Amino acid sequence: MTQQHQDERTRIRAAMDRLLTGQATLSNGSLTVTALAVEADVHRMALMKRHADLKNQFYERVRSETQQVPETEKRLRETVTKLRQTIANQKAEIEELRQQVTRLTLASAVLTQQQFHSVSAKSESGNVVPIRRLES
Q: For the segment 37-61, what is each residue's pLDDT rounded down to a tens digit?
A: 999 999 999 989 999 999 999 988 9
pLDDT of residue 36: 94
Q: For the segment 98-130, what is each residue's pLDDT rounded down to a tens digit?
A: 999 999 999 999 999 888 777 666 666 566 666
Classify each residue of 71-101 as buried b or exposed e, where b means 16 or more C-beta atoms within 10 Å of its C-beta. Answer: eeeeeeeeeeeeeeeeeeeeeeeeeeeeeee
State the pTM of this model.
0.53
**Could you count the other beta carbons within 10 Å of the beta carbon of residue 48?**
13
25 near 33, Cβ under 8 Å? Answer: no
Please state the rounded mean pLDDT for residues 9-38. 91
pLDDT of residue 121: 63
- Single-letter amino acid code for the residue at 108: S
pLDDT of residue 125: 58
Q: Is it the case that residue 1 has pLDDT exceeding 80?
A: no
58 near 97, Cβ under 8 Å? Answer: no
Taking CA 110 as the corner, what is the angle to CA 109 and CA 112, rounded to the nearest 5 degrees?
65
pLDDT of residue 83: 97
pLDDT of residue 124: 60
